A and B are shown apart, each in its own frame.
Chain A
Amino acid sequence: MSNRHDVAVLGVGMHPWGKWGRNFVEYGIEAAHTALSDAGLQWRDVGFVAGADTIRNGYPGFIAGATMSQALGWKGNRIASCYAACASGAQALSIARSQILAGFCDVALVVGADTTPKGFFAPVGGDRPDDPDWLRFRLLGATNPTYFALYARRRMEMYGATQEDFAKVKAKNSRHGLTNPNARYHKEFTVEDVMSSAIVADPLHLLDICATSDGGAAVILSSMEYAKQHTTNPVRIAAISTATPTYPQTVIEMPNFSTDSAAAVGLPDRPFRDSIAWGAYEEAGLGPDDIDLAEVYDLSSALELDWY
């Protein structure tokens, strides 16, 4: 089954995740070279670069599309740079797909890389009392795990989930990562390991929360026509869903102090999470019954369960 929104994935590449202490551009370029090699293409074949931004690496991070293109060698291709926090990669993929489907290019490179400090993420520096991201640290001391933990505790209060349930998610994921040379950890964490790690934000333990990492990833996308000239059975992207919530969003979202008010406007037909999956199914012309495998990731073990 195919539709007119399909694009092909010709190659993928990744720089291993860890604490390497090098410039983020190196991780991105290594991933891009691996993806090009995987696709059997040259940098000269790429007509468009979508860069997923990082806000932790200064100006080069804000203009990732240009930074990566310059590092690979200027050759006059078009670029885009986009920031969507942890969804920057999906957003960059969506932009590249649009360029291909609009007919502006045949082959696009999507690339993102980052370096992260140890410990809690902090807001951008300086005294900025009109920035909600700055204010939530100042007035509440609300870190990112604060929000992850509010969802986790809500799940426990509503549905009787336990900290052991959350720990099992981490144990499962660490098992899957064991044989992946790019994985952040090559250690099989047990439920007991998770349960005996420090509580960061009750009910979440340190090992329930995403580890900060350095690394990079890249994907080579192409039009279906181009792909058919290079391979017999290309992997296709049938849908990318990157929608906002619908007002009123009544689940608290980082970095906000409050939810929207549902006093004057009724709740949307579908809550935010459901609407994202709905959008993907609708675009692909597929339904849950057509799916054999779901690879699910979120920022805490408990959040992963919220998607199921």
Chain B
Amino acid sequence: MSTKTRVPAIEGWFTADEQHPALLGTRCTACGSYFFPRETYFCKNPDCLGRDFEEVELSRTGTVWSFTNNCFEPPAPYMAPDPFVPYTIAAVQLEAEQMVVLGQVVPGFDPADLHAGMEVELVLDTLYEDDEHEYLVWKWNPIGATAGAATATAATEASR
């Protein structure tokens, strides 16, 4: 078990509740539009002059809109481990907010394990670490799916 202190990689974007984390957005009190990351100055609805926003926890679950991965190390400021480890990214549709939010998918899931419409939930996971800290970010965790399942199935079929 790591003895490093777990801290958010960015302040104010998600709750620190490790069991049931939620993204922190805002909602315009005049028109009801949701914003993530938080909007606190002017409402982006062109017909709304709202300037007051309430902080809201966004839906913790959603459905996959699309997904991809990154096979090569991206440039800074991404803090890539050495050696680089590819990761999967999902765009997730939130029903109540009627918006799509990006996030990395928890390690172990490849694009082959995902499909549009799949249900996912928000978790906190390590984005990068230094000697004293693990820096946490939100990630999407497929519900009821097994990491590497598609690869395992393909291997099974190939061996038949």
Contact = CB atoms under 8 A, between A and B. Distances in A.
Contact of B65 (A119, A154, A204): A154
Interface residues of B, number: 48
Interface centre among B13, B28, B74, B115 (most CB of A within 10 A): B74
A74 interface: no
B157 to A, nearest CB: 19
Interface string A76-120: 000000000000000000000000000000000000000000011
Contacts, number: 148
Interface stretch (A34-42, A44-52, A193-201): A193-201
A143 B74 contact: yes
Interface in B72-116: 72, 74-80, 87, 89, 91, 96-104, 110-111, 115-116
A157 B98 CA distance: 20
State the majority secondary structure of interface residues on B: loop
Interface string B56-84: 00000000011111111011111110000
A258 B59 CA distance: 14
Contacts of A203: 68, 111
Interface string A106-140: 00000000000001111100010100101111111
A190 interface: no
B66 A153 contact: yes
A interface bracket (residues with beta carbon within 8 Å of B): 35 or more
State the majority secondary structure of interface residues on A: loop
Contacts of A149: 68-69
Contact of A263 (B33, B44, B75, B103): B33
Given A137-B78, A142-B89, A265-B33, A252 B102 contact: yes
Interface of A: 119-123, 127, 129, 132, 134-143, 146, 149-154, 157-158, 198-204, 247-248, 250-252, 256-265
